[in-house]
Chain A
Amino acid sequence: MLRDITLGQYYPTESVIHGLDPRVKLGTTVLYIISLFCFRNFLGYLLAALGLALVIRFSRVPFRFMVKGMKSILFLLLITVVFNIFLTPGTPVLRLWKLTVTREGIVLAATMAVRLSLLVIGSSVMTLTTTPNNLTDGMERMLRPLKIFKVPVHEVAMMMSIALRFIPILLEETDKIMKAQIARGADFESGNLFRRAKAMVPLLVPLFVSAFRRANDLAMAMEARCYRGGEGRTKMKPLIYQKKDYLAYLAVLCYLAASIAVGRILF
């Protein structure tokens, strides 16, 4: 089901993680992702997994929600693993027809798989515990310095938050239009690539029309509610660092120190 995609979905509950400043969560996620790419041994990944598990525990979001996000990248994950296993040169372990599996290949594939999984789950934790509005607020604040270079930071943030709000609606709509066309005898599944691409037209045209209609309606509704860009806007939920946010930063620092020590980053 299309509705099951959780990437970019918020899970409403009250938890320590939910209550943190989005800047903390954004910064942490970025640092976490960087750390994933810097580890030079498995111990580092173990540490990363442990850290993540701890955060998930605190977030009170059921673990299956995180795993659901994984489903959407399963294909990507598979390709990465297969390519790495077969295409890495090194000591051969196994020979399958013309393909050689190497020791290095297995190690690399495993590393990539772990890395990707942690990366996706890690970012899911952020989106699941932060409302998109909050997230874009955080981004807007963090990127504010770019304003001097005439980057429309507020506008970009607003666009992202609207896009996130409409993803589930458009997915549901896709599902509905697809069914309606199947009811008219459309076939989305058989035929060669060219025929399949052509079969998408009855799905894509209505979807685009609908997206434009919605965009138009929304723009009007926003204007009617006095939206006129970021100038002179106040915030219902302004970002102010609390004690818990500083504590969270401290925890992140500890994680960083540990990763440098355990994961042999830098040396």
Chain B
Amino acid sequence: MPNIIKTRNLTYEYIRRDEEGNVEGITTAVDHVSLDIRPGEFIAILGHNGSGKSTLAKHINAILNPTEGTVWVDGKDTSDEEAIWDIRQTAGMVFQNPDNQIIGQVVEEDVGFGPENIGVPTKEIWERVEESLRAVRMYAYRKHSPNKLSGGQKQRVSIAGVLAMHPKCIILDEPTAMLDPNGRKEVIRAVRALNDVEQITVILITHYMEETIHANRVLVMNEGKIAMEGTPREIFSQVERLKELRLDVPQATLLAHELRGRGLELPAGILTAQELVDEIGKISRKGNRICP
């Protein structure tokens, strides 16, 4: 199958100006990034604030155009003005702030906003709104005002709003950064369901490591470049490298790392609490105690 998203040498630069408008310098936010994402993949992009991950994401939705290089979404070049609306429909985007992306005053009207824009017939809009709200388990709230919802619920409405446009790919730009732990769980559950059940390609940008455990592939960005790439297990086995990149790892991984540092022979890349418990169990059963 052809790649749903492909970038070659994607570079984005912007000019910094001082107060008088003179050019102070050029910042390269994304630096020669080449990416291939297959349909149905769940990709997580990690990186500290200012690493270029959000800028990269905005290129996939054609909100930004590359200074250099090319981005193709479902085979279409994002710098092609003609294709821009097709691209935005194919690759939907959910943003960080739950308040600043809901347009409707009632949940269902907000979800209908996207389909209205792309000219979907009225009857079908209603069908799409219903199925999208059900997919994120917000159907019961369809008549509610978004102002009365919790952060996690608002983000699920935003996801439904994108879903109603029948995208092939959803990019989520730090959707959980402003949520409490419960809201975060709700949103991640909804995102995983989209990927598992609806087979939608997911690109999840985050700095919460726990949220990337279920991804097929994790990319770590630093200074506009892809600094690390691999399965979550491969990435999280490099605790020291991640710390250098201003990131941290799930507590289970960190504890395993700490134990290894104290001489316990644990395999690298432990991700979940259960894995760690099992591995320690094996060691204690074998009775091969480490020398005191």
**A contacts B: CB pair < 8 Å:** yes
> Interface majority SS on A: helix, strand, loop or mixed?
helix
Chain A count of residues within 8 A CB distance of the other chain: 31
Q: Are A169 and B144 closer than 8 Å at their CB atoms? A: no
Q: Are B126 and A221 closer than 8 Å at their CB atoms? A: no
Q: Assess whether B143 is interfacial by the CB under 8 Å rule.
A: yes
Chain B contact-residue range equals 35 or more
Q: Are B112 and A214 closer than 8 Å at their CB atoms? A: no
Tell me the total A-B contact number using a CB cutoff of 8 A.
100
Interface residues of A (CB under 8 A from B): 10, 12, 131-133, 161-162, 164-165, 168-169, 213-214, 217-218, 220-228, 232-238
Q: Assess whether B11 is interfacial by the CB under 8 Å rule.
A: no
Contact of B63 among A132, A224, A232 (CB under 8 A): A224
Q: Are A226 and B103 closer than 8 Å at their CB atoms? A: no
Q: Assess whether B165 is interfacial by the CB under 8 Å rule.
A: yes
Interface residues of B in 163-182 (CB under 8 A from A): 165
A82 to B222 alpha-carbon distance, docked (Å): 67
Also in contact, A10 and B88, with CB within 8 A (given A227-B117, A228-B117, A234-B120)? no
- Residues of B near A169 (CB, < 8 A) are 99, 147
Also in contact, A217 and B106, with CB within 8 A (given A12-B143, A234-B120)? no
Contact of B105 among A132, A218, A226 (CB under 8 A): A132
- Residues of B near A10 (CB, < 8 A) are 105-106, 145
Nearest chain B CB to A215's CB is how many angstroms away? 9
Interface with A: B2-10, B31-39, B90-98, B270-278, which one? Answer: B90-98
Interface CB pairs A-B, < 8 A, 21 = A12-B144, A133-B109, A165-B103, A169-B99, A218-B103, A221-B101, A222-B103, A224-B61, A224-B63, A225-B88, A225-B103, A225-B113, A225-B117, A226-B85, A226-B89, A234-B121, A234-B125, A235-B116, A236-B122, A236-B126, A237-B109
- Residues of B near A235 (CB, < 8 A) are 116, 122
